[in-house]
Amino acid sequence: MPIPFLSLLLFPFFLSLSSAEISSLVGINYGQLGNNLPSPSHSVNLIKSLNAQIVKIYDANPQILNALKNTDLRVSVMVPNELIINISSNQNLADQWVRTNILPFYPQIKIRYLLVGNEIISSTANQTWFSLVPAMRRIKHSLKTYGIHKVKVGTSSAMDVLQSSFPPSNGTFREDIADRVMRPMLQFLNRTKSFYFLDVYPYFPWSSDSVNIKLDYALFESKNITYSDPVSGLVYTNLFDQMVDSVIFAMKRLGFPDIRVFIAETGWPNGGDYDQIGANIHNAAVYNRNIVKRMTSKPPVGTPARPGRVLPTIIFSLYNENEKGGSGTERHFGLLYPSGKAVYEMDLSGSTAETKFKPLPEAETNEPYKGRIWCVVGKGVNMSEVVGALSYACSQGNKTCEPIRKGGPCYEPDSLKTHASFAFSSYWAQFRKIGGTCYFNGLATQTIKDPSYGKCKFPSVTLQG
Would you name the residues annotated as active-site residues?
119, 265
Q: Is 447 helix (H, G, I), strand (E, B) or coil?
A: strand
Q: Is 196 helix (H, G, I), strand (E, B) or coil?
A: strand
Which residues are paired to 263 by β-bridges? 198, 313
With a CB cutoff of 8 Å and minimum separation 6, the contacts of 241 are: 303, 304
With a CB cutoff of 8 Å and minimum separation 6, the contacts of 396 are: 427, 430, 431
Q: Concatenated DSSP letters for 5-53? A: -GGG-S-------S-GGGTT-EEEEE----SSPPPHHHHHHHHHHTT-S
Sheet strands (E) in 71-209: 74-79, 110-118, 152-157, 162-164, 172-173, 195-199
Cα–Cα distances in angstroms (integers) from residue 230 to residues 169, 245, 326, in the given order: 9, 14, 37
211 vs 142: CA distance, rounded Å: 50
261 vs 6: CA distance, rounded Å: 22
With a CB cutoff of 8 Å and minimum separation 6, the contacts of 60 are: 77, 78, 79, 101, 102
150 vs 144: CA distance, rounded Å: 10
298 vs 307: CA distance, rounded Å: 13
Nearest Cα to Cα of residue 340 among 1, 94, 37, 25 = 37
Q: Is 355 helix (H, G, I), strand (E, B) or coil?
A: helix
57 vs 70: CA distance, rounded Å: 17
Nearest Cα to Cα of residue 320 among 356, 365, 281, 291 = 281
Quote the crossing angle between the two packed helices 416-431 and 383-394, to the nearest 10°.
Answer: 40
Q: Concatenated DSSP letters for 248-310? A: HHHHHHTT----EEEEEEE---S---TT-TT-SHHHHHHHHHHHHHHHT-SS--EETTEET--
Q: Are strands 227-228 and 162-164 parallel, antiparallel or unpaired?
A: unpaired
For 344, other C-beta atoms within 10 Å of its C-beta total 18
Cα–Cα distances in angstroms (integers) from residue 209 to residues 11, 308, 327, in the given order: 9, 30, 18
